[in-house]
A and B are shown apart, each in its own frame.
Chain A
Amino acid sequence: MSLIQEARARESMLAGGAARQPAAWSATEQPWAWAVSALLLIMPLIANGFFLIEIFGTTLILGTIALSLMFLAGYGGMVSLMQLTIAGFAGYMVAVFGVSGNANISLGWPWWLAPPMALVLAVLFGTLGGALAVRTEGIYTIMITLAIGAAFYYFTNQNWAIFNGHTGINTIATPHFLGVDWRMDVAFYYLTLAVAALCYFAVLYLSRAPFGLALQGVRDNPRRMAALGFNVNAHRIAAYAFAALIAGMGGVLQVWNYRQISPGSVAVERCIDILIVAVVGGITRPVGPYIGAFIFVILRTFALDFLVKVGLDGNRFRLLIGLGFLAIVFWSSDGVIGLYERWRRRSEASEPRSRPGGHGHG
C-alpha cells in the first residue's frame, strides 16, 4: 500500500511531527466548507437543468460510488476495483425488482420495496466479494476485484434471463411519492445531494468511530492488531460490506438518473474510471472522490468541445483523461488535494509565490 502510506508519511512529515487531523479538510471549521455547502444547497437557483443534473447530480452520484472505494483504500488499505460492479449490481436489482419496460423480467415491486431489496443484495454481493478479496493483499486484491468486475460484466452480457443480455433493461420507473416526481431535475438533485451528504458524513463519522480506528490500525499494522485481539479479516470484510452499501446507494441513484442499465454501464473501463476519480481527487480524505468526480465529469462533458476548439480530434477525451491521471499519479500520490495542500503550505511557509503548484491537473 505504498501509495497511501507514502501520502500519509509526507503529510505527517510536512505537518512537522504534530499529528494533524485530516479534519481540516472535512470538518466544518473551514469557512469555505460552509460556502460550498451553501452553494450546493442553493444550486437549483443558479444552475439550469443541464448543469444541475448532468454536472452536479452526476458528480454527486459518481463521487458517492468513488467514496466507497476511498473508504476501502484510504482507511482499510484495500484498493477494490469492484465498487462500480456493486453499484451496477444494485442498479440491475432495482430494475429487476422494480418496474421497467421489460415486463417479463421486472417483478414490479413498488419504489419503497425494490431499492432496499437491491441494497441488501448489493451488500451481500459486496461482502462475498470482500470475503474473497481479503484472502489476498495489495496488488492481488486489485487483480481479484478487477477479475470479479470483469466476470460480472461478461455475465450480464451472456445472461438473458435476469440481466437481459447486452441490450440491458430500459425505461426503469422512478419513484413518485408525496406528490413529487423524484426524477424531476430539482427534486432529483436534492435527492442525490442528500444521499451524498449522508454517505459523506457516515464515512467521516466512521473514520473516528472505534470501528474506523480499528480499521486504520489494521491498515497500518495487521499483525499488531491481530496480536491485540482484533479479528483482522472480520474488520476488513465489514469494511467491504459498508462500502458496498455506499456503492449500492450510488448505483440506485445512477439507475434512476439514466432510467436504463446495460452491461456497458458495468464495463471494465467504468470500473477503472472509479479508481481514476478517487485517485485524482485524493484517496486519503472523503472529500477527495467528490473533487475527482467533479473534474472527471467536467472533462467528460466539455473535453470534446475544448479539443475541437484547440484544433484536435474531439474523440481524444480518454487520452486527455489518461494523461491527466498519469500526471497526477506521477507527481502527487495524494491527488488534487495533495497538490493543493503542498501549494498552500509552500505559500504559507515563504512569501506567496506566483506559481500555482499544478493545481487543477486532471
Chain B
Amino acid sequence: MSRFIERHPIWSLIILLVLALLAWLIFAVWPPGLEEAIGRKKVFLSAVFNGITLGGLYFLVASGFTLIFGLMRNVNLAHGSLYLLGGYVGYGVSAATGSWILAFVAAFIVVAAIGVLLQLLVFRRMEGQDLRQTMVTIGLSIVFADLMLWAFGGDFYQIQTPAWLIGPVQLPLMTAMKSSGEAVFLQYPLVRLVIFCGSVVIGVAMWLALNRTRVGMIVRAGVDDREILAATGVQIQLVFVLVFALGAGLAGIAGVVGGTFQSISPGEDTRFLLASLVVVIVGGMGSIPGAALGALIIGLAEQLGSVYIPTYAIVVTFLIMVLVLALRPQGLLARR
C-alpha cells in the first residue's frame, strides 16, 4: 500500500478524492441544490448498496473463476454454466425441503462434484493448452446450457427467501431530513445485507486460507512454479482437483445467491460468465483481492450507471475495462 502511494502519488490522490467524495455522498445530509441536480439521496444510496451487494455476488462467481485460472492456468469458460446449475440445484432443493441453508450445501456439493469430473476428464488431458481448453469449455457450456434448458425449460425460477430474512432493515444512514427536523433513515432488504456479509466472510476466509495455511502455501507455490512443487513430493494433481472443486463449488453457491437476489433462467450463464470475465480483467487474473476489487467496481458501476445514465450503463462498465487495459493491461491487482 505505502509502496503504491510512493510510486503513484497522483493516482493515490485521485483514488483518495473519489473515496472521500463517495463517503461524503453517503454520510452527509445532501444540500438542496444537489438533490435537485442528481435526484434524491435515497435513490443514490439504494444504488450504492445494490452495487455493493451485486459486487458481493460477482465476487463469489469471479473468485472461483480466478482461483482456478490462477493455480492451474485452466480457462473454464463453462464457469457460467456451473453458476446456473448451482442455481437450479439450489432451487430444486429449497423447493423440495423448504430449507434455504440446505440449498447452499446441496449446490456446493453437486457443482463441486461436477468440477471434479471436469478436472479429471477434461482439463487433465489438456494441461497447458490454453486455446484447446477454451474451445472445449465453450463446447461444454453450449451442451450444459441446452441440457439445462431441456431439464428446466425457459421459465424464471426464484429461490424463496427464508422467513427470518424477509423484510427491510433500517440502516443508520440518513436519506433525508423532514421539515420537522426528524431524520429519515434508509430501509434496505435484510437478505441482501446478510448475503453480502456472507460473501465477505468467504472472501476473507479464502484469503486467510491462501496466505496463512499450509494448503494455501502449496497452492500459492503451485501458482508460481508447478514443476518444482511437484518435485518436492506434493501430490499436485490432488491439489488441482481440490482447488477446482472449491472454485466450482463457489460458483454453485453464487447460483443460489443469484437465485435469491434475482432469478434463475437460461441466459444467466452467459451473463455471469461475462461478468466474471470483466471482473477478473479489471481486477487481475488469478488474484483473489483483485476479484474483490473488480467485483466492487463493476457492481457499483453497473448499478449507479443504470440509475443515472440508463442508456449508457453498459458502456460505463466497458469503459472501465478499456481504461484498465490501457493503463494496466495485467489488471489492477495482478502481480505480473
Contacts and interface: CB of A to CB of B under 8 A. Distances in A.
Given A2-B128, A268-B270, A329-B132, A319 B281 contact: no
A144 interface: yes
24 contacts: A1-B130, A1-B131, A132-B326, A138-B130, A138-B131, A139-B75, A144-B281, A146-B274, A147-B278, A147-B281, A154-B314, A155-B315, A158-B312, A160-B311, A313-B150, A315-B149, A315-B150, A316-B146, A319-B150, A322-B145, A322-B146, A325-B139, A326-B136, A326-B143
Interface stretch (B49-57, B83-91, B164-172, B317-325): B317-325
Given A132-B322, A132-B326, A319-B150, 17 more contacts: A1-B131, A2-B132, A3-B131, A3-B132, A142-B131, A147-B281, A147-B318, A150-B274, A151-B318, A155-B318, A158-B310, A279-B135, A318-B145, A322-B142, A322-B143, A322-B145, A323-B143
Interface string B316-336: 011001100110010000000
A140 B329 CA distance: 10
Interface of B: 75, 128-132, 134-136, 138-140, 142-143, 145-147, 149-150, 270, 274, 277-278, 281, 285, 310-315, 317-318, 321-322, 325-326, 329
A333 interface: yes
A143 B277 contact: yes
Contacts, number: 115
Nearest to A323: B143
A177 interface: no
Nearest to B73: A139
Contacts of A142: 75, 131, 134
A272 interface: yes
Most buried by A among B139, B150, B314: B139
A318 B310 CA distance: 33
Contacts of B310: 158
Nearest to B278: A147
Interface of A: 1-4, 6, 79, 132, 135-136, 138-140, 142-144, 146-148, 150-151, 154-155, 158-161, 268-269, 272, 275-276, 279, 313, 315-316, 318-319, 321-323, 325-326, 329-330, 333
Contacts of A333: 132
B270 A6 contact: no
Please classify the interface of chain B as helix (H, G, I), strand (E, B), loop, or mixed, using the class held by over half of its residues.
helix
A272 B135 CA distance: 10
Contact of A139 (B134, B147, B270, B314): B134
Contacts of B315: 151, 155
B312 A329 contact: no
B136 A319 contact: no
Given A158-B311, A269-B270, A329-B139, A144 B325 contact: yes
Contacts of A136: 325, 329
Contacts of B325: 132, 135-136, 144
A1 B314 CA distance: 30
Nearest to B147: A319
Contacts of B135: 3, 275, 279, 325, 329
Contacts of A269: 270
Contacts of B138: 272, 275-276, 325
A325 B143 CA distance: 10
